């Protein structure tokens, strides 16, 4: 029973990022992953327009697949 509980509560994936550690303090392998994620999110060449990055391109009442708009908090949520 205890093993089952541990397995259910254990995270399924390991996140190498640690709160309070700056990007330049990670090892080179993790820095590469950070750079790729950053470019994918923020560099126009790599980033596709999303409701979070380009909200004026989307209709809140007809959200793209995988997204919903919360009018109370006035923000887009990726499901």
- Residue 15: inside a domain, yes or no? no
Calculate the CA dihedral of residues 30, 33, 35, 38 and round it to 10 degrees.
-120
pTM above 0.75, yes or no: no
Residue 40 and residue 36: Cα distance in Å, rounded? 6
Closest to 61 in 3D by CA, of 52, 53, 70:
70
- Residue 3: inside a domain, yes or no? no
Q: Kindly give the confidence (pLDDT) of every residue in the chain, 79 residues in length, as a single tens digit, with 9 standing for 90 and above.
A: 667 666 777 766 777 888 889 999 999 999 999 999 888 877 777 667 889 888 999 999 999 999 999 999 889 999 9
Residue 24 and residue 7: Cα distance in Å, rounded? 34
- Residue 25: inside a domain, yes or no? yes
Domain that holds residue 60: 21-78
Closest to 37 in 3D by CA, of 45, 47, 52:
47
Tell me how many domains the chain contains. Answer: 1
- Residue 7: inside a domain, yes or no? no
- Residue 49: inside a domain, yes or no? yes
- Residue 40: inside a domain, yes or no? yes
Residue 12: its pLDDT value, please? Answer: 67
């Amino acid at each position: 029973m205890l093993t089952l509980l541990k397995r259910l509560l254990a995270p399924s994936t390991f996140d190498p990022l640690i709160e309070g550690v700056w990007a330049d303090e990670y090892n080179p392998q993790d820095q590469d992953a950070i750079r790729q994620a950053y470019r994918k999110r923020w560099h126009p060449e790599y980033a596709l327009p999303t409701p979070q990055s380009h909200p004026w391109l989307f209709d809140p009442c007809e959200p793209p697949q995988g997204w919903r708009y919360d009018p109370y908090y006035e923000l887009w949520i990726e499901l």
